[in-house]
Structure 1
Amino acid sequence: MGQQGRSRTNGQGGPGAVDGFFEYARERQLIKLRRDAGESPPFTGDPVLRAYRFCNVFREDDRTTAWFRQNVRDVLRESPTEVTLATITFRWFNRIEVGEQILDILLEDGWNAKRIRSRLRNVQPLVTGAYMVKTPPGMSKLEGIIWCMKHINRRSLPQMPMTSLELAHQWLTQYPYLGDFMAYEVITDLRHTFQLQDATDIMTWANPGPGAARGCEWITGHKYNRHSKTDRVAMMNVMRELLRLANSDEAFLWPEDWPRWEMREVEHTLCEYDKYMRAVNGQSLKRRFDASHQGEERT
């Protein structure tokens, strides 16, 4: 991404904002392709992308999700209750190292408090740094997760809606401490299984978090309150238009021989684009680039 592309997107909204969003997305995808091809770093000439860590455009390409897909999700994908329980369990921790310690439990039981407590009692770090894992106060993180999982009734899991990501997301958040963000991670995994592969809103619904809301602001120049129903409708319309453009053969914003986008790609690329634009405008980000780990920080 050249200096010209960055300079014309320094402000929020206005001409070039949509182009700037896709310019970022294309360059981030090219970083992955160059790395996969065995090229040597740096994988980009963009100073911000060279300095800081950004997730892949496609969540399925991120290291943690790839491990979970290959070792757990694809193995259980035709068994809705089993894959749902195993996914919830894994995403409480969201670490490959933890997944490896409890892989047999994930595949055989989905959850077993006694065995997991024994396996993970001395494991550190226990949970991901990619998102906040909330558990009851006054407990260790392990005991807090065990408490949370105690409230997830295995027998109730077949009641999860199978026709809608949005309804399944709402259903999951009934459980204590399983908030919007983590529920969205679980739903995104289950979208690739029998449980939600036929959901009717894969291309029309997403759960915009604070990063995606700020990403929409960079596109439109408007501020959004993601807790406002009106603003959520407005953000959803922005995201649907970005999805249309991403998959349009006429827009020339995303190469037609690259993978197609879904609403999940729009939502999480908006979040990453917000990080990118804040860095372009002088804000220091937390996660510095490491050529051996680029694209692995998320989920």
Structure 2
Amino acid sequence: MDPRANDAGRDELMLDLGMDYESRAHDFVPLEVTIAGRPLSTSPVFDTYWRFAALRQHAYVSRLSGASAPWSTDPVLRAHRFTNCYRASDRVSQYLINEVAYSGSQDPEEILFRILLFKFFNKIETWELLQDEFGSLSSDGFAVDRYDEALSEASGSGRTLYSAAYVIPAPGLGATRKHTNHLRLLDHMLASALPRRLRDSTDMNEAFVLLRAFPGIGDFLAFQFLIDINYSTLLNFDEMEYVVAGPGARDGIRKCFGPRANGIEAEVIRYMADSQDEHFARLGLQFEGLRGRPLQLIDCQNLFCETDKYARVTHPDVSGISGRTRIKQKFRPTMQPLTARFPPKWGID
């Protein structure tokens, strides 16, 4: 980010957050909280977590209401790309919910096939490429060799098959190409009766363990896949039931609470979800929520990732675990209209 843009935007930022970065840090009084029996002291980034959430959700609601860009006066939000406060609001999640999970047969095997095929690449353009090639995508018409040929041809012509949102490691199933291995993994998961086993799981932890057992799927991916499957009719768990902290969230937690939070990240995320009303009120922030739906565990987990990035600019002196100091992705607004249709079982549409 251009430092001059940062300086030029300070007056605007004060309108949103009430004071500039240095004044907030200077006036900050740490909170002493006990989480999982462990006393923790907050850093200035803890209050920034809540301010960022309020700013980001306000920008989302403004854009959804039809307001023209820019949707925030915050110079950091205007310069860099951040996900929405609610994971289900993001463009890719919206596409998955409306064009993948609920579009087509609601048979458990078909739901899981579509969601995993989409999520292994996490890229709308790859899904649509396969639709253009094979029409309606279903497990009945799935053949590893045919799908591999289509994706190999696209990759060979220079098309990017995978999203850059996060790394999806190759499962190592004997093929030289990453996408071939993922197609083989999908075939293996279906052959292992995973749809039925997920449907019969009694809680989110059991479903997480089922997903985590497959090659190439670590804790982070297993939890992300679980949340996506839970949007569908295949599962119906409460999003406040279970959470797994990813690497970005652990960075954000370190910046908010310091190293004493190591090992209790899930409990810290639950504390944030449980105490959200208290801290928004304490800071005088108006958080608009999602049609009455408060932040869930997955949303608080994601907000730690985004706060980690945001703090690289606003609190450069506070270190995380990774040591990253820059926000790589710039914000480039698109004029595509937002969709805001959520799983029907949530009852908020």
TM-score by length of 2: 0.72
Asked whether the 8 Å contact 2:49–2:307 carries over to 1, the reply is yes
Q: What is the aligned residue count? A: 286
- The answer to whether the 8 A contact 1:105-1:112 is kept is no
The whole-number CA distance in structure 1 between the counterparts of 2:136 and 2:220 is 24
| Structure 2 residue 266 is the aligned partner of structure 1 residue 236 | yes
Write the distance in 1 (CA, Å) between the matches of 2:208 and 2:97: 20
Which residue identity lines up with residue 219 of structure 1 in the other structure? C
Aligned-residue sequence identity (percent) comes to: 25
Residue of structure 2 in register with 1:75 after alignment:
103
Please tell me the root mean square deviation across aligned C-alpha atoms, in Å: 3.0
- 1:168 and 1:126 map into 2 onto residues whose CA distance is 27
Aligned to 2:249: 212
Paired residue for 1:93? Answer: 121
Equivalents in 2 of 1:9, 1:221: separation in Å?
Answer: 16
| Equivalent residues in 2 for 1:73-152, closer than 5 Å | 73-75=101-103, 78-103=106-131, 104=135, 106-107=137-138, 109=140, 111-123=142-154, 124-135=159-170, 136=172, 139-152=176-189
Give 1:170's aligned residue.
Answer: 209
Tell me if 1:278 matches 2:312: yes
Is 1:193 aligned to 2:232, yes or no?
yes
Separation in 1, partners of 2:68, 2:228: 32
Superposed, 1:282-293 pairs within 5 Å as 282=316, 283-292=325-334
Amino acid at match of 2:164: G
Give the letter aligned to residue 172 of structure 1.
L
- Partner of 1:228 in structure 2? none
1:215-226 alignment, distance < 5 Å: 215-225=252-262
Q: Which runs of 5+ in 2 are unaligned?
A: 1-15, 31-40, 317-324, 339-349
| Alignment correspondent of 1:2 | 17
Q: 1:266 to 1:114 in 2, by over 3 A?
A: same
Letter in 1 for 2:258: G
Q: Is the CA contact 1:214–1:223 (under 8 Å) kept in the aligned structure 2?
A: no
Q: Deviations over 1:149-205 (max 9, x none)?
A: 3432435211125332222111111111122222222111121223221x25x3142
Counterpart AA for 2:19:
Q
**SS at structure 1 position matched to 2:259:** coil
In structure 2, what is the equivalent of residue 180 of structure 1? 219
TM-score (norm 1): 0.83
Match of 1:55 in 2: 83
Note the 1:247-286 alignment, pairs <5 A.
251=281, 254-255=287-288, 258-282=292-316, 283-286=325-328
Mapped to 2, the partners of 1:269 and 1:37 lie a distance apart of: 23
> Contact 2:309–2:326 at 8 Å: present in 1 too?
no
Provide the residue aligned with 2:344 in structure 1.
none
Residues of 1 paired with 2:49 and 2:279: CA distance? 17
Cα distance, 1:40 vs. partner?
A: 2.5
Structure 1 distance, partners of 2:141, 2:222, is 17
Q: Verify: 1:159 aligned to 2:189, yes or no.
A: no
Question: Quick check: 2:79–2:330 contact (8 Å CA) kept in 1?
Answer: yes
Q: Secondary structure in 1 aligned to 2:307?
A: helix
Deviation at 1:105, TM superposition (A): 5.0
Larger Rg: 2
Residue 40 in 1 paired to residue 68 in 2? yes
Is the 1:72–1:107 contact (alpha carbons within 8 Å) kept by the matching residues of 2? no
249 and 28 in structure 1: CA distance in 2 versus 1, 3 angstrom threshold: closer
Distance in 2 of aligned mates of 1:93 and 1:146: 10
- Check conservation: 2:43, 2:255, Cα contact below 8 A: no
Alignment partners' CA distance in 2, 1:4 and 1:275: 20
Say which SS state the counterpart of residue 4 (structure 1) adopts.
coil
Q: Distance in 1 between matches of 2:280 and 2:92?
A: 34
User: What per-residue deviation string (whole Å, max 9, x for no partner) do you get for residues 85-135 of structure 1?
Assistant: 221111111111111122445345484313312332222101111111211
- Please give the alpha-carbon distance, in whole angstroms, between the structure 2 residues aligned to 1:166 and 1:275: 29
1:77–1:105: structure 2 CA closer, same or farther, 3 Å change rule? closer
- Equivalent residues of 1:54, 1:272 under 8 A apart: yes
CA distance in 2, matches of 1:248, 1:133: 37
